[in-house]
Amino acid sequence: MSIEITGIGKRFGDFVALDDVSVRIPTGQLTALLGPSGGGKSTLLRIIAGLEHADEGTVEIDGVDATHVRPQRRDVGFVFQHYAAFKHLSVYRNVAFGLEIRKRSKAEVRERVTELLELVHLEQFADRLPSQLSGGQRQRMALARALAVEPKVLLLDEPFGALDAKVRRELRDWLRRLHDEVRVTTVFVTHDQEEALEVADEIVVINDGRIEQVGTPDDLYDRPANDFVMRFLGPVTRLGPDLVRPHDLELHPGEVDGAVAGEVSRVVRVGFEVRVEVTAADQVVLVTLTRTQFLALGVDVGSPVWVSPAAGAPTVAAVGPAPGDRSLVPG
Amino acid sequence: MAEAATVARRPRRRGRARRAPSRYVLRAIVAAYLLLLVAWPVSLVAKNAFADGLTDLRAILEDPDVMHALGLTVRVAVVAVVVNTVFGVGMSILLVRYEFPGKRLLSALVDLPLSVSPIVVGLALVLVYGGRDGWFGPALEDAGFQVIFATPGIVLATVFVALPLVIREVVPVLEEVGVEQEQAAHSLGAGALATFRRITLPTIRWAVVYGVVLSLARSLGEFGAVKVVSGNVLGQTRTATLVVEEKYLNFDKGGAYATAFLLALVSVACITVVSIIRPRTSEETTP
């Protein structure tokens, strides 16, 4: 049930949403399409579902060309950011919808729906209307509804985007466990790098209508293909000509070979973490240390220090904006 | 959710307390306005209809010509409402869900019947379908189908004037609910027809009901366009509103008020029935 996307292009007027995108989404895995808003990831997902037509390129689902197949024949489950609950139908009827369309027997529908409502922990809400559920419950209902028809692939468009942070984290864990149980090929769109790193088996980073990198969370974090991926996946700072993660930097109170000399210009403590800004030559380097590490160094504002990347720390040649700018705000 | 609801309610309550005096003044103005312009005049019609007890009402109910006119009005209104409902729902979906060149023009055109005087509509229909020198009429007449001065013409005129009412009720609802529920239905395997029947129609049903009621009331009450195209033939093409005019001009005030009362009664009944059943189910349709 893999998905093969080849040379997909899509424009909305003058705006290029996707530009010659090709990617293979493997069977049975949980894949994240990650990228900033407006980067084209949702458009790609909607093209896979058939809700949007590509201007060029092909989509193959499970080895079958689905490019011109209508959405109702694609056998995909789609979950929307804002749930798209059928407001006039009970939770039970919502989940039963796809089965009723397929004219399954009443007994079969009841069995399957009951099973799914148990899976998403909504069995006691079967007779409620969607308006009587919380956001998280509605999204779980939408997920059960999509799973009811046993789709070849499950597509989720920013599924937790409309939920508050706590519920989002719970549902994220729950989705991962659910996927381990159900094992259906799943693609979800997110702009939250933490969500992607935590949940996905594989991540496709999309920006400006193009794929920046495809890989496992470890690949992406440890071996970013370019400065965009590096910046998007976590905080970065600049050391000389390179981008490097602030927690991959070491501070030395005395001179060390290959280290950059500077002076501590600012110290901010946030919980267990200490953020040290070092002014070295014409740039400000951000270094994050644990509280213990910082105290062991015995330095403070004004102390001379030497900064070097830790052994094996990923670095990427910096392109674009000046040092220090977006270093604290990933994405 | 419950928490969010209380948070949202709190500032509103404070606002109400502060704005109370101006609020009562506004209410009084609105009430007085509606009373003077609508409620009082209409109630006077009722009062005049019963000026001689039930005599006038009994007289028109026993008059076969009036009964024929009432029957004709009801038949025409029902046909016009059915046509406008089917057309209106289809047109609303077209206007909201599809992009095509000339969409704005079409949308403006749909409003035309509300802005054009019905008598102009009547004249326009005569120019097109007139039996002797209409543009299309003689051909139809040769085929044995008379439009002007016959029931089809009355239906046509009524359909025309009530055309936007269903559309103007349904379009905002379709726009507000958005396309996601329909897309979800598609992705679950529902074709266009199943999606319409199971998702779209239940979503817009109250808008349709309201549009139907407004159309019905408008169709029952149409006068100007019908007057031109019907020919006003007693016992054949004279509708209820034409009876009112006829009786009024012939100094049969009692008969005119009694017939007018019946017309008003149906309209008020329609709107009352809808407003009684609507709030009870509106809870389930709110997001």
- Per residue in B21-32, pLDDT (tens digit) is 888 999 999 999
Decide if A80 and B285 are in contact by the 8 Å CB cutoff: no
Q: Are A44 and A214 in contact (CB under 8 A)?
A: no
Confidence category of residue B284, pLDDT binned at 50, 70, 90: very low
Residue A134: predicted pLDDT? 92
Residues β-bridged to residue A21 = A8
Q: Is A160 on the interface with B (CB under 8 A)?
A: no
CB distance A88 to B202 below 8 Å: yes
For residue range A22-62, list pLDDT tens digits in order: 999 999 999 999 999 888 999 999 999 999 999 999 999 98
Does the CB of A49 have a partner CB in chain B at under 8 Å? Answer: yes
Q: Model confidence at B235, in pLDDT bands (50, 70, 90)?
A: confident
Give residues 199 to 228 of A whose Cβ lies within 8 Å of B: none
End-to-end CA distance of chain A: 32
B4, pLDDT greater than 50: no
Please name the helix (run of DSSP H) or strand (run of DSSP E) that holds residue A2, with its range, or none. Answer: none
* pLDDT number for residue A103: 93
Instruction: DSSP letter for A236, please.
Output: -
Q: Are B257 and B45 in contact (CB under 8 A)?
A: yes
Q: Is residue B164 scored above 80 in pLDDT?
A: yes
The answer to whether the beta carbons of residues A172 and A198 sit under 8 Å apart is yes
Please give the pLDDT value at position B279.
Answer: 57
Please report, in tens digits, the pLDDT of each residue of chain A (331 residues total): 789 999 999 999 899 999 999 999 999 999 999 999 888 999 999 999 999 999 999 999 988 999 999 998 998 999 999 999 999 999 999 999 999 999 999 999 999 999 999 989 999 999 999 999 999 999 999 999 999 999 999 999 999 888 888 888 888 998 999 899 888 999 999 999 999 999 999 999 999 999 999 999 999 999 999 999 999 998 999 988 889 999 999 999 888 888 889 999 999 998 889 999 999 888 899 999 999 999 988 888 888 999 999 888 888 888 765 444 444 444 3
pLDDT at B287 over 90: no
**B72 and B237 Cβ atoms separated by less than 8 Å:** yes
Please state whether beta strands A304-309 and A260-270 pair in parallel, antiparallel, or not at all (unpaired): antiparallel
Put simply, the answer to whether B189 touches A98 (Cβ < 8 Å) is yes
What percentage of chain B reaches a pLDDT higher than 70? 90
Helices (H), B98-179: 103-115, 118-129, 137-142, 151-177
Is pLDDT above 70 for B12? no
DSSP code of residue A36: -
Q: How far is CA A52 from its chain centroid?
A: 21
Q: How far apart are CA B96 and CA B168, in angstroms?
A: 11
Separation of alpha carbons A180 and B72, rounded Å? 68
Q: What is d(CA A284, CA A306) in angstroms, rounded to the nearest whole number? A: 13
Reported as a single tens digit per residue, the pLDDT across B195-222 is: 999 999 999 998 999 999 989 989 998 9
Interface test with B, best of A61, A72, A93, A150 (most B CBs within 10 A): A72
Terminal alpha carbon distance of chain B: 12
pLDDT attached to residue A128 = 95
| B4 inside 8 A of chain A by CB | no
Whether the Cβ atoms of residue B209 and residue B163 lie closer than 8 Å to each other:
no
Report the pLDDT value the prediction gives residue A326, as an integer from 0 to 100.
44
- Going by C-alpha positions, the residue among A71, A91, A9 that lies closest to residue B184 is A71
Identity of the amino acid at A49: A
When CB atoms are compared, the residue of A51, A87, A101 closest to B188 is A101
For residue B82 the two structure tokens come to 């059915």
pLDDT number for residue B20 = 78
pLDDT at A321: 54
Would you list the DSSP string of A71-83?
GGGS-EEEE-TT-
- Indicate the burial class of B223 (C-beta count within 10 angstroms; 0-12, 13-18, 19 or more): middle
Mutation to test the B interface, candidates A80, A134, A156, most B Cβ within 10 Å: A80
CB-CB contact of B40 with B255 (8 Å):
no
Query: In which element (H, E) is residue A105 found?
Result: none
What's the rounded Cα separation, in Å, for the pair B246 and B233? 11
Which residues have CB under 8 Å from A7's CB, separation 6+? Answer: A20, A21, A22, A56, A57, A58
- Give me the phi and psi of A57, to 5 degrees please: 95, 175
Tell me: the pLDDT tens digits for B65-122?
899 999 999 999 999 999 999 999 999 999 999 999 999 999 999 989 888 999 999 9
B285 touches chain A (CB under 8 A): yes
Alpha-helical regions (H) of chain A: 41-49, 91-101, 106-119, 135-148, 165-182, 193-199, 217-222, 227-233, 291-297
* Average pLDDT estimate for B120-148: 86
Q: What's the sign of the alpha-carbon dihedral B254, B256, B260, B263?
A: positive
Q: Which of A131, A139, A158, A187 to mutate to test the interface with B (most CBs of B within 10 A)?
A: A131
CB within 8 Å: B187 and A72: yes
State yes or no: pLDDT of B51 exceeds 60: yes
Confidence (pLDDT) at A328? 44
- Average model confidence (pLDDT) across chain B: 86
- Judged by CB atoms closer than 8 Å, whether chains meet at B186 and A70 is answered as yes
Question: Which residue has tokens 């529902």?
Answer: B190
Cβ atoms within 10 Å of B33's Cβ, excluding its own: 10
- Spell out the long-range contacts of B236-240 with Cβ–Cβ below 8 A and sequence spacing 24 or more: B236/B68, B237/B72, B237/B149, B237/B150, B237/B151, B237/B154, B238/B65, B238/B68, B238/B69, B238/B72, B239/B69, B239/B72, B239/B73, B239/B76, B239/B154, B240/B66, B240/B69, B240/B70, B240/B72, B240/B73
- Our CA-based measurement puts residue A94 at a distance from the nearest CA of chain B, in whole angstroms, of 10
Closest in A70, A78, A87 to B287, CB measured = A87
